[in-house]
Structure 1
Amino acid sequence: MREIVFDTETTGLDPRSGDRLVEIGCIEMVNRVATGAIFHAYFNPERDMPAEAEAVHGLSITFLSDKPKFATRAAELLDFLADSPLVAHNAGFDFGFLNTELALCGLGEIGRDRMVDTVAIARRKHPGAKLSLDALCSRYGIDRSHRTKHGALLDAELLAQLYVELMGGRQIGLELAADAAVVTRGEVTAPATPSATPRSFRAPRPHAASAAERARHEQFMAGFGDALWNRS
């Protein structure tokens, strides 16, 4: 089963008030194993960047000013998403911004029936617990030491690991993804999933007792005398 785990960064909290999407990071998973295929892009929001938003993700309007507008990458993004389920943390937020940007391009919205919300999954598994991405990564022992600010691709990578754990985890050492070359889209190159370490063939060991072992066993059993198992 193909799924896309994704995250967004924005200029604020509400696309209805004019906030825009400025970064998206998407990771392809097949049978809940990352394939190495990604889509990552920054976008020029065609507006200012509020200081409080920049403090969260570190994306300044100076950095974004030469990036493409969302409309120029929309078709490529939709091609990558295809018809797969879309996994996000607090997915309603990300869907709201993504669909607003698509509407501004004159494109159809992505149906909410494709939405997989990891916050909702975590709430069912851990009622009353903290449900932020940071808190859940700590709960499941997912390393986020390299995360100093929010970033769409980095957060999507963390979320992909968290999603696997929320859905039951993965047996250590079990490799389900076939070896494949890295498929890269957008502006970031992702490493391919490492293949399983080849194992050398080991011949089966003999398990039948030798004649000498059987003789020693019979001698040992004879020492019990009138044993119950000899009376029948």
Structure 2
Amino acid sequence: MSIASRAKKVASFVLPLMIWVGVWAALPHLNLIDPSFLPSPTAVVIALEKLAVQLSFYQDLGATVYRSIAGLVLGMVIGVPLGAWMAVSPRAEGFFGPIVKSTYSLPKTALVPLLMLWFGIGSTTSILAITLSTVLPMIIYTYHAVQDTPRILLWSARCMGTSPRDVMRLVQLPASMHGILTGARIALGFSFVIAVAAEMIAAKVGIGKLIFMFGENGAYDYMFAAVVAIVAVACLVDALLVMLTDYLLRWQGRSNAEI
């Protein structure tokens, strides 16, 4: 990639953020929002600097990231095999399909109080809520990715005497990796959202609990600083996942994530 292309890509990322920050800074000055409820970007940066020197802040941040990644991994471990099985087995699709369709639109945060009663306050409740929110997109993306495997690849493998198990392992799963990893990226966003929401209700540590405490006490500059911190970390994890996707799919000769 040339220097001009890199500069253009960086500018296309930075410019919308600058516009958004400018709008944010202007709203209180225009009296459209009470400044006491919407701190300025400068106040948020100062609060973030103060949080950055506290060890407990990194413990909260680490707890949220751990729960998000753990729930995502469990969702993938369950969702990918199940989605692939449903794609090749009418019986599996007939049994699990109605369950997936009926529960996909269910707000997963609604289950947090129930999970809290079963498993108490802590990481287990948050991780299970995240797993439930990530397993469904993984099932759906894997299902469609496996079903969309080019028929010519399947015909060629079967004509060469490849067993059904080897067709799945050697043909369908490699051909489906783009869709599966795209589903993983979508599920990653769900994992951070549910992690923060669950921590507000059923956790003693975590960025969600920190955001709730700051908001409850009226420390809105610190609340926004915690939000900015977890957004930055989520963007970093997403960028790492994009890099991993491009590396794993380098044999396809194309980039798999434009945004």
Superposition TM-score tier, normalisation by shorter sequence: under 0.3
Give the structure-2-normalised TM-score.
0.19
Greater helix share, structure number: 2
Greater strand share, structure number: 1
Q: Which has the larger radius of gyration?
A: 1
